[in-house]
């Protein structure tokens, strides 16, 4: 039965589960970040579908029937692709499935920071004056220069840092990109610039970010990802007027979840049909 076993870690849209079960595959589930249950329930699975939990390369020995790791998402820095290849295991992801949702949240964060939406909401809730408070004077998005890191550089990195009013990150976390927004980078940015990160927390030196904002080197930030899954209450990122944080909801829309599930199904069914998975990474 193991050749038809699929184990899902975390959540996956019901449309995918229905397609698997209707095709005769045996599906099991375990919670995200529960290693013990994963290894127990997936011990004979041919396919494991991962959400955000990191896949430990030591698990391959405990999962002898594993042939495919399907990442339910785009980033795969939490999957040891090289080790999977050595063990004869395919790795796939779901490119583009959440692109629109993430882009829309990036724009939302830009406008939220520029127009001081969080401060304005807090002001209303505190019963403060509602008429044109000077402390809530914002900026137009119109006319601003937006630098997209990850779209393809039409200018050099240093030029992008120096000329952009808004810098938005859209690259994976790798050894080469880790901490690229650091003290040196912030020192090259405009003092009115804001940073938007809907990609990976590892791209940003958070201590350097807070210092840059506090010392007026840059104006603010909108972050959909931080170095903590549950941010600590003592973090200097919190309760900061010029930093807006959302809990990694960039891909969290009904539409992107459905598209993600469809792409997971496509790769898994390719595998079971003895074809190379369409969204393979190795």
pTM beyond 0.75: yes
The pLDDT value recorded for residue 31 is: 95
Does 119 lie in the same domain as 70? Answer: no
Residue 229 known to be catalytic: yes
The pLDDT value recorded for residue 257 is: 95
- Does some domain include residue 280? no
Catalytic residue (choose from 72, 200, 206, 257):
200
Does 59 lie in the same domain as 183? Answer: no
The burial class, CB within 10 Å (0-12 / 13-18 / 19+), for 61 is: exposed
Does 241 lie in the same domain as 103? Answer: yes
Residue 115 known to be catalytic: no
The pLDDT value recorded for residue 69 is: 98
The pLDDT value recorded for residue 1 is: 40
Does 121 lie in the same domain as 189? Answer: yes
Mean pLDDT per block of 10 residues along the chain (282 residues) reads: 83 95 95 95 96 94 96 91 97 96 97 95 84 88 96 93 98 92 98 96 95 97 86 80 94 95 97 96 96
Does 209 lie in the same domain as 116? Answer: yes
Does 258 lie in the same domain as 238? Answer: no
Residue 170 known to be catalytic: no
Domain count across the chain: 2
The residue segments making up the domain with residue 81 are: 2-97+254-272
Catalytic residue (choose from 29, 87, 170, 248):
248
Catalytic residue (choose from 229, 240, 257, 262):
229
Residue 60 sits in a domain of what CATH number? 3.40.50.720
The pLDDT value recorded for residue 75 is: 86
Does 203 lie in the same domain as 156? Answer: yes
- Does some domain include residue 45? yes
Does 111 lie in the same domain as 84? Answer: no
The pLDDT value recorded for residue 273 is: 94
| CB crowding 77-89: b at 16 or more within 10 Å, else e | bbbbbebbeebeb
């Amino acid at each position: 039965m193991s050749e038809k076993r699929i184990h899902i870690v975390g959540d996956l849209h019901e449309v995918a589960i229905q397609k698997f079960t209707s095709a005769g595959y045996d599906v099991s589930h375990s919670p995200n970040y529960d290693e013990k249950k994963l290894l127990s329930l997936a011990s004979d699975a041919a396919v494991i579908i991962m959400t955000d939990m990191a896949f430990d390369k030591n698990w391959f020995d405990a999962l002898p029937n594993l042939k495919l790791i399907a990442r339910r998402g785009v980033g795969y820095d939490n999957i040891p692709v090289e080790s999977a290849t050595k063990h004869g295991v395919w790795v796939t992801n779901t490119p583009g499935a959440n692109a629109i949702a993430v882009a829309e949240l990036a724009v939302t964060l830009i406008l939220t920071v520029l127009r001081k939406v969080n401060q304005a909401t807090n002001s209303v809730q505190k019963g403060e004056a509602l008429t044109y408070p000077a402390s809530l004077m914002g900026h137009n998005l119109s006319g601003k220069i937006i630098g997209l890191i990850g779209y393809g550089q039409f200018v050099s990195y240093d030029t992008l840092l120096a000329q952009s009013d808004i810098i938005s990150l859209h690259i994976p976390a790798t050894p080469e990109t880790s901490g690229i927004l650091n003290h040196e980078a912030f020192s090259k940015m405009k003092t009115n610039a804001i940073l938007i990160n809907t990609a990976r927390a590892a791209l940003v030196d958070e201590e350097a970010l807070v210092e840059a904002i506090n010392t007026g080197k840059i104006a603010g930030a909108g972050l959909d990802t931080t170095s903590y899954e549950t941010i600590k209450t003592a973090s200097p990122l919190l309760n900061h007027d010029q930093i807006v944080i959302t809990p990694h909801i960039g891909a969290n829309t009904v539409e992107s979840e459905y598209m993600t599930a469809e792409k997971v199904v496509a790769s898994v069914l390719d595998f079971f049909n003895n074809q190379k998975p369409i969204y393979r990474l190795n």
